[in-house]
Amino acid sequence: MHNVETFRDLQREATEWRRYLHENPELDYQVHNTARFVTEKLASFGINHIETGIAETGIVALIQGEGGEGPTIGLRADMDALPILEASNKPWSSKIPGKMHACGHDGHTAMLLGAAKYLAGTRKFKGSVALIFQPAEEGALGGLRMVQEGIMDRFNISQVFGMHNAPGMEVGKFGIRHGPMLASLDEFDLIVKGRGGHAAKPNETIDPVVIAAQIIMGLQTIVSRKANPIESLVISVTKLKAADAFNIIPDEVEMTGTVRTHEPSLRDFAETHILSVAQGIARGFGGDAELDYRRHDPVTFNHMEETTLAIKAARNLVGSAAVDDNIKPRMGSEDFAYMLEARPGAFIFLGNGPTAGVHHPAYDFNDEALPFGIGYWVNLVETTLAT
Ligand SMILES: [Zn+2]
Ligand SMILES: [Zn+2]
């Protein structure tokens, strides 16, 4: 087992990679240059089993250990950036206005490359490691597509692990928990139907704006009065479209919103109750409501055995006091959740120090965190695939 000092030389190299990736951000599935950079680096480490073009620009590379037969475990990094104009004022700021690595996926990619270089050079493990570099984590389901294109079966992956940097957590610290880590993400559209007319004659209309206002308040009672208070549920209405003029009562109001929870059964629960509350209120006023409910990321759920392995790997790197193994779950979401639905595994947070939050224009991945992320991956492999 290694402490972080083992990875100081790699830190210097990984910092160069990270800053190059930061200067050259790419979005969604269009991470062509990033994927080419990753592929070239992997080949230069002597890794000869590299498959590209999975989910358009995703990569899976295999490193075989020298410790004999054993299972294959998957380590995943994401490669995509965000459509944000950077304001970090760093010398390595984005060269592409309107695109930036505001979620630290540049750091995630650099850390997995660092671990790949170390593991390909030492190979002190049994079985194999599958390095998974995915595109399109930010809302375009790259993780799901890689699963759908069969990477788990094709590479015989038995367990998967993911990592995300966490601004506000000290560099050198890790946070994880058994069970739900991040929430599911669903989206809904509600159409509230009334009968439009002149705003001066509301008595001749069925005003869907007033009905929508009641529905918005009513939806909050699903959380406060219907759901079990011990279980977490968020329902937010975030977008409203009514008439285009001040003196018109529209026929319809369109509402959009999102549902987040750590309890998978609450997704069905939310769908059922959003529809019944909206229809009940709308019909009471002579109107009606239609719901379109769409499920996106599942709950990011950490499995028992793999979470214990992740905690052990992190503790061996930084000591027990620097690993919080019972952090509070968060309401954000991650498309790594699809990989955790396909195989047991664990997702861990890595301290990024007092930087701006992710998705903020002033955010920057903290290069001091690189050797901790690299060391975690290496320890995890040497723990899970111990010879
Ligand atoms: Zn993000
Ligand atoms: Zn992210």
CA of 80 to the centre of ligand 2 (A): 9
Q: Does residue 1 have a pLDDT over 90?
A: no
CA of 174 to the centre of ligand 2 (A): 16
**Which 3 state secondary structure label does DSSP give 269?**
helix
CA of 78 to the centre of ligand 1 (A): 10
CA of 259 to the centre of ligand 1 (A): 18
CA of 356 to the centre of ligand 1 (A): 13
Q: Does residue 254 have a pLDDT over 90?
A: yes
Lookup: tokens for 334? 């991650």
Q: Does residue 31 have a pLDDT over 90?
A: yes
Other CB atoms closer than 10 Å to residue 195's CB: what's the count? 15
CA of 228 to the centre of ligand 1 (A): 29
CA distance 49 to 31: 21
CA of 287 to the centre of ligand 1 (A): 39
**Which 3 state secondary structure label does DSSP give 385?**
coil
Q: Are 185 and 297 in contact (CB under 8 A)?
A: yes
Q: β-pairing, 197-198 with 248-249?
A: antiparallel
Other CB atoms closer than 10 Å to residue 13's CB: what's the count? 15
CA of 133 to the centre of ligand 2 (A): 13
Which whole number is the average pLDDT over 279-291? Answer: 98
Q: What is the mean pLDDT of the chain?
A: 97
Which whole number is the average pLDDT over 158-175? Answer: 98
Which whole number is the average pLDDT over 251-268? Answer: 97
Look at residues 159, 120, 130 and name the one whose alpha carbon lies nearest to residue 58: 130
Q: Residue 381: which pLDDT band, with cuts at 50, 70 and 90?
A: very high
> What was the pLDDT predicted at 139?
85
> What was the pLDDT predicted at 289?
98
Which whole number is the average pLDDT over 89-95? Answer: 97
> What was the pLDDT predicted at 249?
98
Q: Are 220 and 235 in contact (CB under 8 A)?
A: yes
* pLDDT per residue as tens digits for the range 234-251: 999 999 999 999 999 999
Ligand nearest to the CA of 143: 2
Give the whole-number percent of the chain exceeding pLDDT 90: 99
Domains of the chain: 4-181+299-384 (3.40.630.10), 184-295 (3.30.70.360)
Look at residues 64, 77, 160 and name the one whose alpha carbon lies nearest to residue 120: 64
Q: What are phi and psi of 131, to 5 degrees?
A: -90, 120
> What was the pLDDT predicted at 57?
98
CA of 292 to the centre of ligand 2 (A): 27
CA distance 313 to 156: 23
Stated as kind and residue range, the H or E segment containing 11 is helix 8-23
Look at residues 26, 6, 12 and name the one whose alpha carbon lies nearest to residue 106: 26
* pLDDT per residue as tens digits for the range 106-165: 999 999 999 999 999 999 999 999 999 999 999 889 999 999 999 999 999 999 999 999
Which whole number is the average pLDDT over 63-73? Answer: 97
Residues 6+ apart with CB under 8 A from 91: none
> What was the pLDDT predicted at 339?
98
For residue 350, the Cα-to-chain-centroid distance in whole angstroms is: 14
